[in-house]
Amino acid sequence: MDAILIAEQALNGLQFGLMLFLLAAGLTLVFGIMDLINLAHGSLYMVGAYLAAAAIAAGASFLVAVLAAIAGTALLGMALEVTLLRRLYQRDHLSQVLATFALILMLNEGVRMIWGEQPLMLNTPASLSGPVELLPGLMYPAYRLLIIGVGLAVAVALYLLVTRTRWGMWVRAGASNRAMTTAMGVPADRLFTAVFGVGAALCALAGSLLGPLLAVQVGMGESILILAFVVIVIGGIGSIRGALVGSLLVGLVDTGSRTLLPAALRQVASPELASTLGPSIAAILIYVLMAAVLFWKPRGLFPARG
């Protein structure tokens, strides 16, 4: 187990964690401020990826495609908030789950009708398709470095937005006590729509950046949504800082356990057994982490509500 392997795996974990953060940030704000469980959050991620793929197919450059996906998905998110989700804030969580689950089905079917059953395969932009030598012997794909860079930049920008601006103050106030915030004259309607738009834009950013690494396909949002929920539970609902720490924890634990565990198990068992046990234990480890956090900190690592 040499240092280069560990460094490379750490970068992989960071890259995965930051992408999870883009999803978890929007989810945690919506959940924390509007008290809305939005299962369709993952579908916005899917829509973002499809919009980027469509823009590239129409001849746009990668950058333009990502921007178009962000704009399109943010508009869709805000439209959904104004027309549908706004009516759900006063309802109980079960109605919210039912309504947003229906939204998943409709968006999946809609995407299927427009783009078909087959997954779309995106290529990384040619200028980023090669590796970069970070340290002697440590090669890392340029595209994944870009993802890490964008993820970090968004994290910083969000932090500044939430801690340094008036809107950010409203958001924090809304997360800690919603009723009092509206009573103090914060324009709740506009704030909620804006938060939802930002959440959708972050989804689209994650979807369009991950498109070339994964496949753009129907249902891609559901699998990642579960991890995003784990992240916000670990981090504390409503907290951006918690979402960041939770994402990085989950990313590092997932990547680390996927390679380090089989390697360790191989010392004591056959490769087949090690590779069967390894991923299953790795998958459980994330939930063990969540359970441990909840045991000692039932409100997550950084609870937003006092």
Q: Which residues bind another protein (CB under 8 A)?
A: 2, 4-5, 8-9, 12, 15-16, 117-119, 121, 123-124, 129-131, 139-144, 212-215, 217-219, 255, 258-259, 262-263, 271-272, 275-276, 279
Minimum distance from residue 140 beta carbon to another protein (Å): 7
CB atoms within 10 A of CB 248: 21
Minimum distance from residue 279 beta carbon to another protein (Å): 6
Minimum distance from residue 202 beta carbon to another protein (Å): 20
Minimum distance from residue 59 beta carbon to another protein (Å): 17
Q: Is 138 exposed, middle or buried (0-12, 13-18, 19+ CB in 10 A)?
A: middle
- Choice between 76 and 248, CB closer to another protein: 248
- Choice between 92 and 117, CB closer to another protein: 117
The single-letter code of the amino acid at 300 is: G
Which residue has 């959708």 as its token pair?
Answer: 200
- Choice between 41 and 144, CB closer to another protein: 144
- Choice between 193 and 255, CB closer to another protein: 255
- Choice between 111 and 171, CB closer to another protein: 111
How many Å apart are CA 140 and CA 128, to the nearest integer? 11
Minimum distance from residue 24 beta carbon to another protein (Å): 18
